Chain A
Amino acid sequence: MQAFLNQLPQQLVNGLTLGAVYALIALGYTMVYGILQLLNFAHGDVYMVGAFVGLGTLNALAPKSGLLLPAWAILPLMLLAAMLVCGALGAVIEWFAYRPLRNAPRIAPLISALGVSFFIQNAMLLLLSASYRTMRTEVLLPIRMGFDIGPARMSAVRALVIAVALLLMVALQLLVRRTRLGRAMRAVAIDREAAAMMGVDVDRVIVATFVIGSALAGAAGVLVGLAFTQVWHFMGFTAGLKGFTAAVVGGIGSIPGAVLGGLLIGLSETLAVGFISPTYKDLIAFVVLILVLLVRPAGLLGRRAQPKV
């Protein structure tokens, strides 16, 4: 019992970091699904591209010889670059691979998404080769830099990840609740045709959703790169799956749900590793998912779409 209590605070810190990242990825999934009922399988690969952009920016601004800019300037630049590139990428993907399929049966954009995912992954493989890259976070934030919360240690990188994720989530919530675009997005999510009749430019809203969702994924990529330092062409696959699970657990289509789902999955995974077994952590995450869906079949905060006849 004592051991359990000793480890718990640290595991909570670990879980929070992971959960924050999953939440960011889940947000992108949920936003797109809410508007298009499309599972964007290419989302994980956009996240991967974001990580690479962050890596490129870091290597450009902090070469082996020294930092060209102070650390507190480089970090936001990395995030900005990744978000811009990923946002643009998301818009391009939507324009080319999903827009022609707006009226097609649901499964067609799914396969198109898979094709895009394959393409992006292998394009990165072709351009950048298969080797892992390491993000040299320690030049910006030394490994031992951090502070203690009781027996737990919160390193500077983790604190940064959690803080930035929180910031982005709050910004998104403000966007959706307080701006015209956000209102338009909510309207399109509820009923696309009615929103169009109300004068909402549905195409623009959809593009905006993709851009924002992809930008969030890009930011998540940079944060993961900073926190866990590995960047490679296949990293989007697992992260995408986890993000997707988180979005579903929280109720797909619901933004606060995605956040909640992300945190839940992150925490349960971490606690499972810490107290049960790392070997079976995926199994336990799956069990959590099943339990949640058994109790609430539409996810924690999801609203069962009433089929209108």
Chain B
Amino acid sequence: MSLEKLGEDEWVEQLAARQARRGPLGRILARLEQANPILLGGALLAAAALLPLLTANEYILRVAGNVCLFALLALGLNVVVGYAGLLDLGYVAFYGVGGYSYALLASPQLGLHLPSWLAVPLVVVIAAGAGLLLGLPSLRLSGDYLAIVTLGFAQIFVLLANTMDKVQLPWLAEPLNLTGGPNGITPVDPISLFGLRLTSTSHYFYLLLAALALLLLLLRNLNQSPTGRAWRALREDTLAAQAMGMPVRRLKLLAFVVGAAIAGFSGSIFAAWQTAVFPANFDVTLLITLYAMVVLGGVGSLPGAVAGALVLVVLPELLRGPDTARLLFYGGVAATTVLLARPRWHGLALLASVLVAGFLLRLVATASWPGLLGPPPVPVASGLGALAQSWLIFPLDAKTVGNILFLVVVALLMLASRLRHAGLRFALLVPTLYLLAFVWETRLAVEPSVTRLLFLGAILVLLMTYRPQGIFGKPRVEVM
């Protein structure tokens, strides 16, 4: 499959041919696609609910809870960006409004300790109100102007949260500490549901999972309602929608408000879970991650938002541990090579050639220039790492060479990915893959924290260039 974009009709014609070519796995996946989404989703969520019973590892439960939290946020963003097509870059501010409102209503900060059944709905209302406030003036603005204004709003929220710990009100003698400044508000009361105080990670996991299930149901109904159809029309062609008499302004405002309400709700649960809120929790990096989740999963798609949240929460966590990261790296490279090659055995041949070339190079180098070689920068005693390190050769100043080769490898990879001629690509990829392994062992494995983000960035770019509609999105061709 090349990068040519086919029109919808030709695709339909080729569909039959493609379906005939499918293997057993393809047939299973196709059946799943046609299954009732509610049943399918329900089954998956029920399976997820078994997680706390399968493991007592607090870390895994916390990551799972985070996936649910981010899925909630991604769904809310999906409403604004995916359904109504508004580029809202201030979404995290609503999350922050939710978090801080809950913190102010249920903590010693202002002396209020409202019960959860009162505090959470109140927070949702407040966040929706904030959405209304931001939405109203923004209606005049088109696409990218909306983006910058909402972005400014998000920055201002963080600024205010950081600095409003000394608010001078005229009727108070001492300045009021509203937001706690950079130190945030702590402690925050946990959520209590029907008399049960939620304190442990699994409690919050269940709460968030339930909220996720409910929201998915709600949004699905909303999507299929007249409002949802109106939003879709709005997204596809605003002018036409307006010409058809749709209340464009009201619809945009509604999208804003719904998105903000969802974010606010998530914020309140987050604040209760962390038992604290800090301004640092709501920075622009989070916004970027949320956008990446929505787009990765497919803009406008419900399972897409959840899938995006899953990938972008779990993947960085997996890449944290050097052992896991190494496994993921080598496994990923090998798998990608084999899967993207056509026919498959070309990929295997490539991997084999790289291994052989590496051995040859090692033989030649150790025989001819032993003085130029040294030990690996971070020796690994056993396992995959040790294998790799015994196969590669390392020059003396591995760090500098590694740095230079890093740039070389990036250039080579970019070149190789765009080459059409299969033979040339093969020839180029052999040294590229070898150097990739070398750079991994000398520089990337040494600094796992930086490597994580490097890979995240690379994955985002690659994902977008190869599949701009995301995992669950439908390919759309913009007619200019």
Contact = CB atoms under 8 A, between A and B. Distances in A.
Given A122-B457, A286-B155, A294-B137, A280 B149 contact: no
A289 B447 contact: no
Interface of B: 3, 5, 81, 87, 137, 140-145, 147-149, 151-153, 155-156, 159-160, 163, 239-240, 288, 291-292, 295-296, 299, 403, 406-407, 410, 414, 418, 443-444, 447, 450-451, 453-454, 456-466, 468-469, 476-478, 480
Contact of B145 (A95, A109, A193, A248): A248
B418 A112 contact: no
A65 interface: no
B472 to A, nearest CB: 14
A309 B403 contact: no
B299 A107 contact: yes
A123 B406 contact: yes
Interface residues of A, number: 54
Contacts of B137: 290, 294
B149 A293 contact: yes
Interface string A267-309: 0000000000001101100100110011001110000100101
A103 B478 contact: yes
28 contacts: A33-B144, A96-B414, A96-B418, A105-B468, A106-B478, A107-B295, A108-B295, A108-B464, A111-B291, A112-B460, A114-B288, A114-B291, A115-B456, A116-B461, A119-B457, A119-B461, A126-B447, A126-B450, A126-B451, A248-B148, A282-B155, A286-B155, A289-B148, A293-B141, A294-B137, A304-B142, A307-B239, A309-B239
A112 B406 contact: no
Contacts of A104: 464, 468-469, 476, 478
A286 B151 CA distance: 10
A215 B281 CA distance: 35
B453 A122 contact: yes
Contact of A101 (B143, B291, B296, B464): B464
A17 interface: no
Given A110-B295, A119-B461, A294-B137, 20 more contacts: A39-B144, A95-B418, A100-B3, A101-B464, A104-B468, A104-B476, A105-B469, A108-B469, A112-B464, A115-B457, A115-B460, A123-B410, A248-B144, A280-B163, A282-B156, A283-B160, A289-B152, A290-B149, A297-B141, A297-B145
B468 A101 contact: yes
Main secondary structure of the interface of A (DSSP, over half): helix
Interface in A64-111: 92, 95-97, 100-101, 103-111
Contact of A97 (B155, B453, B461): B461
A122 B450 CA distance: 6
Contacts of A209: none
A205 interface: no
B450 A96 contact: no
Contacts of B156: 282-283, 286
Nearest to A244: B148
B461 A115 contact: yes
A252 interface: yes
Q: Which of B137, B140, B457, B463 has the most CB of A within 10 A?
A: B457
